[in-house]
Structure 1
Amino acid sequence: MSKSSAERRRQRAAEMRAQREREARRRKALTTVGITAAAVVVIGGVGFAGYMEYQRRNIDGVQEFDGLTNDHVTEEVKYEQSPPVGGDHSSYWQNCGVYTAPVKHIHAVHSLEHGAVWVNYSPDLPADQVERLEALYTPGSYVLVSPYEGEMEAPIVLSAWGHQLPLESPDDSRLDAFVQLYEQGEQTLEPGAACSGAIDFTAAEIDQMIADQAEGGGEEAPTEDGEAPAQDEEVPAQE
């Protein structure tokens, strides 16, 4: 074998080794980039999910109230907030559902204790907007919808125990966000307690039954103080 042929083979072998080394470095670089990109995606995904959770739990405009008592009483309560967001209340809750007339505050506040969201609206709210609010309730849900005749900060006010959000319109995206967050949310004092099986009368109906009973006629009123026969300990909690 000539010296020139051996030299060419050595040169060719060196070139092939160099090429393999370049390919190895290239594959390593691509692997590093891929791992880095995947890490960025994962971290970004976690960060985005965390951001969305933060947004979900921090609804703009929600007012919070601390130090609310929750004793059972048999007389009307003068609440500091209008509509009420919590406080002492009747031992009988208002059944969740849709009401076309105002309900007794002392019953609705008990529903808040059970994790209900109370949707109050001005009696002069347009019918199409009322329908939008009423659609928030579905059978079995912990949502109470009723008109409110007292003073309110806005035409629509959403209340959960210790939390409240005034809204100008049911088209506000915070409406659904509030219900999703606070319906049987972390603020619930009695998780799993029922929102049915107790009071399903409006305030006017209760007052009329009490008046009729006092006169010795008409339907039997819930009780002389406007209560219904079912109480916390007598109504099983819903699952």
Structure 2
Amino acid sequence: MASAKNQSAQATARRAKLEEARRKERARERRVRIITISASVAVVASLVAGGGYLMAQANEQEKAEEQAKTSPVTGERSWDKLTQEHVATPVNYPMTPPVGGDHNQVWMNCNADVYTKEIQKENAVHSLEHGAVWVTYNDKASDADVKALTKRVESTPYSFMSPVADQKDPLMLSAWGKQVTVKSASDERVAQFFTKYVQGAQTPEPGAACTGGLGA
């Protein structure tokens, strides 16, 4: 009789231990599910937040570019009613570097082209007519500024760069009918001038080629 009771008690203890093990396993599985779901929610939330951040950044960039295009460039000079005849003779331009007027029938290549020697102004003006921005400098410009502006031009289609020894300021930017002197390559007007005038509204012949012309 005592043996039967002992066996019953042992069986009850084993069932209790088994049930406790099962309870612990179920609890562990619940924790795993909670952690997995929480991690998934966190990932989705971060992706949503990240996507929202990127969209917000894109919107801010678009607004900044639109503002740059519509706001005047501080200190810029403008010329209207510029002639556009093709000529084969030198032109006496009223400004240096020239920003428009009669010009050679062949344009300077202006597809992110950097020239280390002076170029013919009559060819450069034709490039401005096609919507390019022309970066120029003289021997008073610092090597650091020339290097930084070179990098910008080399990454910007419809722009070109060359030295102009007789310009009055060390660093100047020109587009068709527009020109500004900047203090340095980091001057905020550099970015604005590029944004506003590379293929900008001032362009007489938007979309015209910047390749296939005259090279260095």
Query: Unaligned stretches of 5+ in structure 2?
Result: 1-58
**TM alignment of 1:127-142, pairs within 5 A:** 127-138=143-154, 141-142=157-158
- State the AA in 1 paired with 2:119: V
Moved more, 63-72 or 132-141: 132-141
**TM alignment of 1:180-195, pairs within 5 A:** 180-195=195-210
- 1:59 CA drift (Å): 1.5
Residue 219 of structure 1 corresponds to none
Residue 170 of structure 1 corresponds to 185
Distance in 1, Cα, partners of 2:132 & 2:102? 16
TM-score by length of 2: 0.66
Distance in 2, Cα, partners of 1:119 & 1:193? 19
- 1:73 CA drift (Å): 0.2
Residue 85 of structure 2 corresponds to 71
Higher relative contact order (CA 8 A, sep 6+): 2
- 1:145 CA drift (Å): 0.6
- State the AA in 1 paired with 2:108: Q
Moved more, 90-99 or 55-64: 55-64
Query: Unaligned stretches of 5+ in structure 1?
Result: 1-44, 202-239
- 1:116 CA drift (Å): 0.3
Instruction: Give percent identity, aligned residues only.
Output: 41
Q: Does 1:199 align with 2:198?
A: no
Kindly indicate whether the alpha-carbon contact (under 8 Å) linking 2:76 and 2:180 is maintained by their aligned counterparts in 1: yes
RMSD: 2.0
Aligned residue pairs total: 152
Distance in 1, Cα, partners of 2:153 & 2:186? 16
Task: Tell me the SS of whatever aligns to 1:131.
Answer: helix
**TM alignment of 1:1-239, pairs within 5 A:** 53=67, 56-96=70-110, 97-138=113-154, 141-152=157-168, 154-201=169-216
